[in-house]
Structure 1
Amino acid sequence: MKIFLTLILLFTALLNHANPVKERVESISQLIDSYPDSAYSLAINLLDESIEEGDDYGIVQTNFILAYVHGNIKAEYGKAIIYYLEAIRYAEKARYPEVGKTLTSLYKNCGVIFRKFKSYDLAEEYYNKALSYASMLPNDSETHSINFNKAGLLMDQKRYDEAIEILSDLISKSDNTSKNFWKYNNRLGIAYFEAGYYELSIEAHLNSLVFDKLSNELDAYTTHNIGRSYAALGRSEEAIAHFNDAIEKKKLLEDKSPLFSSYKELGELIYKEGQVKQSLAYFNMAEKYLDKTQDISQFELFKVKANALFDLKDFNQSKKYEDLYSSALNEYLITQEQIQETDRRYNMDLITKRYFDEVEKQERIASILFYSKLTSGSLLAVLLLVIGYNRYERVRLRRTITRELAAYRMVD
């Protein structure tokens, strides 16, 4: 394997001498998924060359590649953001033909990471910037994609009415031959449900079923969501019918884990109807598909099952499931603390502020050097010093931010 990778690196290196920067970027991009480390090393080399030659396209695209590797492959989101911001800084000044499309993707990807770490203000700001560039592209696909992500961001913040407006507009611009038609209607149905508009949620989910290439999985998922809305409306008979229909459809899937939610929610509905023994049968079925994740909806099964067992006077089994729920809840709380610690470590607001503070500081120093009165020495020598300094600072910028980020983590 090492010999093979070495041959790839040597071949690509030889190819690079003959290819222009754009072709070199494309060859590196093809390596990312299969050989990310090789792609990363080649991108670093091309970035240094591009900085030396003042090639904006090379600087932007290699920073983009490095950001992608850090964010999508290594899950090093702090470093990813730094490279994305560096790519944006150069792309904003660049004039190559595809720069608008590049900036659209850069701002969108930043928005995705900011949303992941709950920096909602930054996420919205960068989605809006992405939309401003997407509006200048020849087709609307990027605009629709960003608006779909933005609707999800608004739902994270419980701004359901704003999300509903965006999703409704997306649906009006799509048709039932596109998979997006199901995707938009499904998210709209969820937004309506979370906002308490249960009738409208049912309508949106029913509309999504019109998609003419609906898979069994999506059909089962949609049927389950309709059942949830009927349950929320207190229309038990219709809810039970949809949950049972969803169960039959999910049984046909290769992955049976989705059966968990339908059995659990059907059991909860039956329990509220006073059919305790029957509800326990559904809870037992749900337990077969418990995936042991840290999803709170999974281990809440232990609580509802403990209640049913208690009502049936099976006190020993009831206590067993109470203990299981207590233990799982404790593990969940510990995990949440770890997640919060990770969020603090990847404080996107702080990382972004540090980046722009560093850029401002370096640009201010460069400006002072360039415009100050030359009181001694050779004019040419000082000008050469300034040029050399500016080139060096471009390389130093990303390294300074990376070091500060590492130091911040150690202190944290």
Structure 2
Amino acid sequence: MSLGTQVFGQSSDGGKVDTTFVQNLLQQARAYKSESKLDSTIYAAQKAERIAKDIQYSKGQHSAAIILVDTYIDRQELQKADSIVNKAIQEFSESDQIHQLYKLKGGVLYDQGNIIDALPVLKKALEMAEDIPEGSEKSRFIAEMHQNLASIYQDFGNMNLSFENYLKAIEFATASSDSALLTILYNNLGNAYQETKEYEKARYYLEASLRISRSINNKIDEYRASLNLANLLRDQEEFEQALVYYEQSESLWKELRPNTPPAIIVHNKGVSLRKMGRFEVAEDYLLRSLEMSKSIQLPQGIFFNHLELSRLYGQTGRIEASISQIEQALPLAEGSGSLTALNVAQQQAQSAYAQAGKYEKAYKILADNKALTDSLTNIEKEKELSQLKSTLELSRQQEVNQLLEEKQSQQEQRIFSQNILIAASVLIILLIAALLVMSRKRASEKQQLLEELQDRKDELEQLNQAKDRVFAIVSHDLRSPLTSVQGVLELVKDELLDGNDLKKLVEEIDVSIKENVDVIEDLLAWAKEQLSGMKMVSEKVELKPLINDVIQSQSFLAIRKDISLTSTLDDEIIKGDTNATRIIFRNLISNAIKYTEKGDSVEVSSKQNDNSVIIKVKDNGVGIPKESAQKIFNSKTWSTEGTKKEKGSGFGLSLSKEFTERMGGRIWFESEEGEGTTFFVELPKA
């Protein structure tokens, strides 16, 4: 019997039925599921499966199994879902819908916390999609698979592959024009942006998911979007609003899954209450959620409740209880395959052990976490991630524009229909439209002019602040060594200094003057750039002698602080401006000396690529605080004292960045507070 052939028979309850009757039951089950009536869905699907089995209609059995597994997943009854899907894969291995079963099997494994085994199953399902006939069904399935893979890679900590799969999912979801699929996709994408702390984009996608789910009356996806919006608001410390969304999601949960405890929602309420400082209530919520998670065998829920209880007990000084909870969470994180979960668990364990004074254990966990963090951090991956996010953002903007165009098209269609019915109103409508266009154009021009004026105002304010900074430096920092020289001359003239005292004072003033020479050079370069634009000469520049000359000029500072200042450059030649290059490396080397302790070292090295040279200036000094990392290249007024109270102008690094980029290069740094800093300058080869 071939699949799809109409079969007549008699059901076990004596009624005469055929495949059409089974198909009607399956259609009814799908309708119930789209309305989130899960009990009715299961009843209709089970009846269809039973009758299909009686009349030996395998296609009906297969379709019923798919609906049942999907529904049990929604209800988080994962053991039932797992049993049905495993049996169906064995019985219907030759079915043209086998790819759907592998997709559901991967979903069950994922929800059970077994993401390592879920990944190859989902990849296999995606490979099977090649056999699906071209059309919207194929596009929808491929979009679903890329979306599921994106979620798994997100848990692995590989955000590059995660966003890459989200992009592919959007492409196929748009091709299939499936609102229900876009609802799920936007929800997961909002979660991804929340994880990378890009809250504005996260909120955009989560609110879009909530809006679409309500418009199509999809209670399950409305619940998911409400819960994730609550988590987002909690992360932004909007706790009261978060609790409102948690209440909404719990109400939806009870409507959808009356027989399943809301472990996830209770857990998230507990997290919010802990962050609000309401520890007793938070503990009660977290312990309740832990018991719920154990009762339904939800590994992720068990892990996160142990983690949060450890944090809560640590905050309230119950150190041993904190350690007990995190020691139960760590094996779950290690077994899940989620690097993100393992990372947060290791960090909490290290904190708990350190708080308890168990420094040996704390150090071991810290070392393990350092290795894990290093494996998650890669500059090239961050660059690829940035590019993927840019593409994704472009897709979002295109979608917004498309919605606006559709609304405009609908409005034009209504106007066109009115023109046919009421010909006399055409001229009036056109006149009104013309006036609106002109009004909008004038309003747009006015707004553009206001924005330009505001930009000019902002630029003038920045220049004025920089001017004030320059005068402050000239009047205070640069006047100090001159005043010192004048004082020494007075003492010499009055014969109040002997030879040794005079020599010591002169050495100190000499160092101060040389430091301020660097400041003057920065100020002059900045002033020239601001007033007339510093002209860049494109020529061949030999790096080794230039940087050796800079090192020689800065060596007195290094000698004074007993700092080893070395260079291992080869005979690299770059294409750029000699003076600008000198300013860049004078600033980087003097900064390295400035923030390095006595007896440490500063090293200049290089690496050649096909079309560029990367020069590194590495020190093992105090490092750059995280809170200052974002502004050191962008501020013309930011400066801190060195390890021996050395002063700077605040212009050096911003000038270095500007000159590097004008020569077609780029500049960046890596720093660990207390460990040191490495600046990288990449310039084109000659």
The two structures have a TM-score, normalised by structure 1, of 0.50
User: 1:28 and 2:99 equivalent?
Assistant: yes
2:328 aligned partner: 258
> Which structure has the bigger radius of gyration?
2
SS of the residue aligned with 2:262? Answer: helix
Quote the offset at 1:138 in angstroms.
Answer: 4.5
Quote the offset at 1:128 in angstroms.
Answer: 1.2
Identity %: 12
- For the structure 1 residues 354 and 209, does the alpha-carbon distance in structure 2 shift closer, same or farther, using more than 3 Å as the test? closer
Cα deviation digits, residues 219-274 of structure 1 (max 9, x gap): 9986996797577567x7xx98xx49x96xx8xxxxx941779xxxxxxxxxxxxx
SS of the residue aligned with 1:346? Answer: helix
Task: Name the aligned partner's letter for residue 385 of structure 2.
Answer: Y
Quote the offset at 1:29 in angstroms.
Answer: 3.0
Trace 1:72-151 onto structure 2 (pairs within 5 A). Answer: 72=152, 76-91=161-176, 94=177, 99-138=178-217, 140-151=219-230
Trace 1:10-409 onto structure 2 (pairs within 5 A). Answer: 26-32=97-103, 33=106, 36-44=122-130, 46=132, 50=134, 55-69=135-149, 72=152, 76-91=161-176, 94=177, 99-138=178-217, 140-175=219-254, 178-202=259-283, 204-205=285-286, 208=289, 214=295, 232=315, 243=321, 257-258=327-328, 295-305=346-356, 307=357, 327=367, 331=371, 334=374, 337-338=377-378, 342-347=381-386, 349-355=389-395
Task: Name the aligned partner's letter for residue 328 of structure 2.
Answer: P
The 8 Å contact of residues 163 and 389 in structure 2, kept in 1 or not, is answered as no
- For the structure 1 residues 56 and 194, does the alpha-carbon distance in structure 2 shift closer, same or farther, using more than 3 Å as the test? same
CA distance in 2, matches of 1:349, 1:219: 32
The 8 Å contact of residues 29 and 65 in structure 1, kept in 2 or not, is answered as no
SS of the residue aligned with 2:197? Answer: coil
Quote the offset at 1:213 in angstroms.
Answer: 8.0
Cα deviation digits, residues 325-360 of structure 1 (max 9, x gap): 77567557645744x864553235312134468999
CA distance in 1, matches of 2:309, 2:279: 9
1:4 aligned partner: none
Quote the offset at 1:114 in angstroms.
Answer: 2.8
CA distance in 2, matches of 1:356, 1:100: 15
Task: Name the aligned partner's letter for residue 274 of structure 2.
Answer: F
- For the structure 1 residues 211 and 88, does the alpha-carbon distance in structure 2 shift closer, same or farther, using more than 3 Å as the test? same
Quote the offset at 1:187 in angstroms.
Answer: 1.0
CA distance in 1, matches of 2:181, 2:284: 38
The 8 Å contact of residues 303 and 329 in structure 2, kept in 1 or not, is answered as no
Cα deviation digits, residues 85-124 of structure 1 (max 9, x gap): 2134334xx4xxxx33222222223223333333332222
Corresponding pairs, count: 276
Cα deviation digits, residues 300-341 of structure 1 (max 9, x gap): 355345x47xxxxxxxxx7x6786577567557645744x86
The 8 Å contact of residues 330 and 346 in structure 2, kept in 1 or not, is answered as no
The 8 Å contact of residues 292 and 298 in structure 1, kept in 2 or not, is answered as no
CA distance in 2, matches of 1:223, 1:297: 11
CA distance in 2, matches of 1:212, 1:143: 22
Quote the offset at 1:125 in angstroms.
Answer: 1.2
Task: Name the aligned partner's letter for residue 297 of structure 1.
Answer: Q
Task: Name the aligned partner's letter for residue 62 of structure 1.
Answer: I
CA distance in 2, matches of 1:297, 1:168: 29
Task: Name the aligned partner's letter for residue 139 of structure 2.
Answer: I
Quote the offset at 1:80 in angstroms.
Answer: 0.8
CA distance in 1, matches of 2:281, 2:208: 31
Quote the offset at 1:37 in angstroms.
Answer: 4.9
- For the structure 1 residues 136 and 196, does the alpha-carbon distance in structure 2 shift closer, same or farther, using more than 3 Å as the test? same
The 8 Å contact of residues 107 and 130 in structure 1, kept in 2 or not, is answered as yes
The 8 Å contact of residues 269 and 282 in structure 2, kept in 1 or not, is answered as yes
- For the structure 1 residues 210 and 333, does the alpha-carbon distance in structure 2 shift closer, same or farther, using more than 3 Å as the test? closer
Q: Which runs of 5+ in 2 are unaligned?
A: 1-58, 60-94, 107-119, 332-341, 402-665, 669-686
Higher helix share: 1
Task: Name the aligned partner's letter for residue 141 of structure 1.
Answer: I
Task: Name the aligned partner's letter for residue 107 of structure 1.
Answer: Y
Task: Name the aligned partner's letter for residue 43 of structure 1.
Answer: A
SS of the residue aligned with 1:196? Answer: coil
The two structures have a TM-score, normalised by structure 2, of 0.33
Quote the offset at 1:169 in angstroms.
Answer: 2.8
Cα deviation digits, residues 7-53 of structure 1 (max 9, x gap): xxxxxxxx9xxxxxxxx98443334546555543443565xx63xxx
Task: Name the aligned partner's letter for residue 171 of structure 2.
Answer: E
Task: Name the aligned partner's letter for residue 126 of structure 2.
Answer: Y
Higher relative contact order (CA 8 A, sep 6+): 1
The 8 Å contact of residues 25 and 62 in structure 1, kept in 2 or not, is answered as no
The 8 Å contact of residues 131 and 143 in structure 1, kept in 2 or not, is answered as yes
CA distance in 2, matches of 1:345, 1:81: 14
CA distance in 2, matches of 1:188, 1:206: 12
SS of the residue aligned with 2:272? Answer: helix
